[in-house]
Structure 1
Amino acid sequence: MSGTFTPNPAAAPLHTQVRAHAAMEARLMLRNGEQLLLAIVIPILVLVGAVLGADRLGLDLSSRAVDVFTPGVIALAVMSTSFASLAIATGFERRYGVIKRLGSSPLPRHGLLLGKVRALLMVQALQLLVVALVAFTLGWQPEVGFWPFLSSLILGTAAFASLGLFIAGVLRAEATLAMANLLYLLMMAGGAVVLPASAYGGFGRFTSYLPSGALGESMRQALQHGSWDLRGLGVMAGWAVLGTFLTARTFKWE
């Protein structure tokens, strides 16, 4: 005979577990000062500095500075969260045994990864809102192609998240911190994510094959011209496949 208060020891449905884990991951990400700096503060500083200083730098831009730089800064925000923040957080979670303990919970490993991805998307939604508000204040006038933009966002997130997890899964936490920050700074400065490839002279043709350059150019095409950058999308898809393969082969859960 069963009553209203009969215990039900079964685990919660997977989607409920993933939702709860994603909410926890997003809260932790936004409470961490370094990750908040990467996710929100740096992109905003880059946007304001680039727009206000474009004339002084003597950049030859095809459109208004705010219209050129805003898509690149949105790409930078995606890279900040999906790559640097994810790699650093996961590296220290491995160090302190957080992932190992979560592995002994009813949440399966693929549920753990789904929760991380969902948390990334939640934080990215906040990033997009903040960057867009600042850009509109500076006079941004986008010509949005929704599907090209969404495709760029998804493939860029997949590419950088897979590469971030690969680094976090094979290096010690301190090495992950150093490597993720170094690669982030190199891609921000020389990876054609904020500046278009044309600003790098002869080296610009090579940047389009980097995940940063592919994401930056895809965002510029989607938000400046409302069009597709099929090569950029293909490059990001290739990096996503490579990163996923490497992560699946090498990731250590403890």
Structure 2
Amino acid sequence: MTGGTETTALEYRSEPRARERRTPSIGRVAAARAGIELRSYFRNRQAVVFTFALPLVLLLIFGAIYSGNAPGTHTPMKQVLIAGIIASGIMSTTFSSLAVAIAVERDDGTLRRLAATPMSPVSYFLGKVVQAFVIGVLETVVLLAVGVGLFGLHLPDTGARWFTFVWVVVLGIVACSFLGIAYSRVAPNARAAAPVVQLPYLGLQLISGVFFVFTSLPGFMQVIAGCFPLKWMAQGLRSAFLSDSFQQSEAAGSWEHGRTALVLGGWCLAGLLLSLATFKWGRARK
């Protein structure tokens, strides 16, 4: 009798452990969610077209406007522009797209439905980051192809430059993705999401050396831009594409690779912490 009772008690205590073992890991849930996100994205043809078209249109417009070399250098302005446009394109596919998408999902009840599943916020974040990473890489490849084909962009010519290109792109995608997730909470509803998100995105483009030589901007704009990832992404990409002589035109007179990595890495961590602190499955207050 006692033995049977002890066995039953042991079985009862082991049930939560068994259920815990059956709970999918954060990584597995994130991978599954990333697959769903990507399939959903590529089924939306309008989203695909507009996501890839915006940086391409900007590249074509400003590439046609600019001729000659960047002021005080022997570097074609078009090549300076391409580095900035790639950085801007990465921010568009990460920060802007994710902030708007999450605001819409919160408003239409998608997040409430996901809250009833084993998915944790971290798994949801990672699924979004993987989606943004794939799209960001594809867009970067397209911009590189157009830059080489139409504007004579010189691709990185050494392993070190390619390495710089890769880590700037990776850190930039992760940092801007987490910032987009965190910033989605600012939008009160789906209708307001696009204008609320586009304001900081457009503002940072204008002051971060995307369309203009960074040092030609007023000092206070340079200070503000230096607080955010886009300026450092653009500068890091310029260091991969342009000759070392152009670094004299940067604010510090050098490429500042260490500082670029520190700022972008810092924003990866800060963005994750902000996302965890601000994310809620329910709607934002009206």
- TM-score, normalized by the shorter chain, greater than 0.5: yes
Q: Secondary structure at the match of 1:164?
A: helix
Structure 1: gaps of 5 or more residues: 1-9
Instruction: Find out whether 1:245 has 2:273 as its counterpart.
Output: yes
* Structure 2 Cα separation of the partners of residues 28 and 61 of structure 1: 47
1:101, CA displacement in angstroms? 1.1
Aligned with residue 148 of structure 1, among 161, 164, 170: 164
Structure 2 residue aligned with 1:116: 128
Q: 1:14 to 1:208 in 2, by over 3 A?
A: closer
Structure 2: gaps of 5 or more residues: 1-21, 245-254
The answer to which of 105-114 and 58-67 deviates more is 58-67
CA RMSD, Structure 1 to Structure 2 (Å): 2.6
Structure 2 residue aligned with 1:229: 257
Normalising by structure 1, what TM-score? Answer: 0.83
Normalising by structure 2, what TM-score? Answer: 0.75
Aligned with residue 99 of structure 1, among 70, 95, 111: 111
Structure 2 residue aligned with 1:88: 100
Q: 1:165 to 1:205 in 2, by over 3 A?
A: same
Q: Secondary structure at the match of 2:242?
A: helix
Question: Is the 1:192–1:208 contact (alpha carbons within 8 Å) kept by the matching residues of 2?
Answer: no
User: Aligned partner of 1:189: which letter?
Assistant: L
Aligned with residue 186 of structure 1, among 188, 191, 203: 203
Structure 2 residue aligned with 1:6: none
1:22, CA displacement in angstroms? 1.3
1:157, CA displacement in angstroms? 1.7
Structure 1 residue aligned with 2:60: 48
Percent identity at matched positions?
A: 25
Q: 1:31 to 1:73 in 2, by over 3 A?
A: farther
Instruction: Find out whether 1:165 has 2:162 as its counterpart.
Output: no
User: Aligned partner of 1:114: which letter?
Assistant: L
Q: 1:106 to 1:245 in 2, by over 3 A?
A: closer
Q: Count matched residues.
A: 244
Question: Is the 1:169–1:251 contact (alpha carbons within 8 Å) kept by the matching residues of 2?
Answer: yes
Structure 1 residue aligned with 2:146: 134
Instruction: Find out whether 1:176 has 2:193 as its counterpart.
Output: yes
Q: 1:200 to 1:38 in 2, by over 3 A?
A: farther
